[in-house]
Amino acid sequence: MIGTHFSGLDWVIVVTYLAATMGTGLYGRRFVGGIADFLVAGRELGLYLAVATLAATEIGTITFMYYAELGYKTGYASFVNGLIAGLVMIFLGRTGFIVKRLREMRLMTVPEFFQVKFSRNLRVFVGILVATGGILNMGVFLRIEGTFLAIISGISLSHIKAAMTAILLLELVYTVLGGMVSIVITDFIQFIALSIGTILVTIWSVHSAGISRMYEAVRHNMGAGGFNPFSNPNYGWSYVAFQVLLMLAVHTCWQTTAMRTFSTRSPEVSKRLFSWAGFIFLGRGMMPMMWGIAALAMFGPAQNSLEAMPRMLTAILPSGILGLVVAGMLAATMSVNSSYLLGWSSIIAQDIILPLRKRPLTSLQQVMLNRGANLFVSLFVMVWGLWYTLPGPTYFYLNMTATIYLSGTLVAVVAGLFWNRASTLGGYMAMAGGAIATIAFFFFKTPASYAGAGAFGLAAIGMLVGSFVAPRKQPALQVAPGA
């Protein structure tokens, strides 16, 4: 048992929050009439609701944990990650680059793009890569979120495993029944709760650690590398280049983010969504990194880097506030997990199983198939989350599992949208090149920045070579069939 101020009042706050989330989540199922409602909420999202659901989906306890870990290990230099994530998103919003055209195509999943522009078989191939990378990525969420809750609530890790399983089941119930509609409704509540938690924790941690003590802690432990990302061995120019490409890919081709693009009311709303959410993404990165730096100032560098931030919270937050923060973190956890569950299972159902079937399914049969895939992904995540051990900092693991498919996908999407010669062989070679370079990170321990930048480079070469060897013969479609 770990010392914490978590009291009966905090439990009441948390349980009330969970009950309210379940109730609103279940309310969404009455609006699901077909597959477009289930996967893209009938394309009815207005700007502010889209901002709430995108932010709630991409801000989870896992996000706080890995960004705080980066702050703890690499000081203020870690802010470069938050800055790139936010600026790239604002750039996409201001220009509409990629996102506007993707929205105009009326897609429901990212691999569907590959059938429209290239071929059905390539869609299946991409679907397999996307589902593998995405589910491996999500696979570590439960363990890390459980670690956070165990430390902050004082419950032992063995009991937390049961609690995390119960939370996953709660998310599963409303995701299976209401799909994207339920997720959007709960995301709205979760966005408010997690934002309040984020702001409270930021104020509390900076106030408790002291701004000058934080500066001194970074200077003393890291020197210039704690401030200047170009003199920090974890970062440098190749890392910055990799991050710009990765964020470009994440914001446009990451299934859970792309589903928000596809769900907006119009291409114009999708553009504005990115302009607004870009500012949220600046804070999404920098605020938890500041918590990590505060933990460094309070405890020194000898802590377990992943656990330092939650340990600091238990030390500084009083009862009542701790309950609000845990409710906020649970909100973050549930919104991310439910969206990811829907995102990856939709790929399995829509992009792997459906294209391989001889007879098409009706819209309602597709909803049932997606519900089955929801169950499968939940089971996998539960098992994987219990036994897999991370090979290094969480952030780099998540980056690389995403890069397995994002490098090739970004290259193929840009080529498919803006280059008439881009061909199916080019698409295959781009996807294979990106995946092979990324796998080097896991098997040969290549540094993340080199493996990541190499993945995008190989994907681009693959696309060029494939398209010149076997150029496209017919013009591609402009809109998803049956949209």
> What binding mask, one character per residue, do residues 221-260 give for other proteins by CB under 8 A, x or -?
--xxx-xx--x-----------------------------
Q: If DSSP codes are grouped into helix, strand and coil, which group holds residue 475?
A: coil
The closest of 61, 60, 66 to 289, measured between CA atoms, is 66
- Token couple for 182: 């339920």
Contact status: 320 vs other proteins (CB under 8 A): no
Binding part of the chain for other proteins, among 79-87, 395-403, 408-416, 434-442 by CB under 8 A, reads 79-87
The closest of 108, 141, 90, 43 to 278, measured between CA atoms, is 90
- Residue 335 in contact with residue 21, Cβ under 8 Å? no
Residue closer to other proteins (CB basis): 232 or 407: 232
Q: Which of 47, 105, 332, 406 binds other proteins (CB under 8 A)?
A: 47
- Residue 273 in contact with residue 54, Cβ under 8 Å? yes
Residue closer to other proteins (CB basis): 42 or 267: 42
- Minimum Å gap between C-beta 286 and other proteins is 5
The neighbouring-strand residues paired with 45 are: 264
Residue closer to other proteins (CB basis): 157 or 206: 206
Q: Which of 18, 219, 244, 440 binds other proteins (CB under 8 A)?
A: 219
CA–CA separation, 288 vs 66, rounded Å? 9
The closest of 338, 340, 376, 365 to 174, measured between CA atoms, is 338
- Token couple for 364: 């309602």
Contact status: 91 vs other proteins (CB under 8 A): no
Contact status: 184 vs other proteins (CB under 8 A): yes
Q: Per DSSP, which regions of 336-432 are E strands?
A: none
The closest of 324, 442, 403, 387 to 142, measured between CA atoms, is 387
Residue closer to other proteins (CB basis): 279 or 442: 279
- Minimum Å gap between C-beta 280 and other proteins is 6
Residue closer to other proteins (CB basis): 263 or 401: 263
**What residues numbered 25-44 form the site for other proteins, per CB under 8 A?**
31, 33-34, 37, 41-42, 44
The neighbouring-strand residues paired with 264 are: 45
Task: Compute the residue count for the chain.
Answer: 483
- Minimum Å gap between C-beta 111 and other proteins is 25
Contact status: 133 vs other proteins (CB under 8 A): no
Q: Which of 13, 39, 40, 45 binds other proteins (CB under 8 A)?
A: 45
Q: Looking only at Cα atoms, what is the longest distance across the chain? A: 68
The closest of 189, 176, 186, 187 to 39, measured between CA atoms, is 176
Q: Applying CB under 8 A, which residues contact other proteins?
A: 31, 33-34, 37, 41-42, 44-52, 55, 76-77, 79, 82-83, 86, 181, 184-185, 188, 191-192, 195-196, 198-199, 202, 215, 219, 223-225, 227-228, 231, 276, 279-280, 282-287, 290, 363
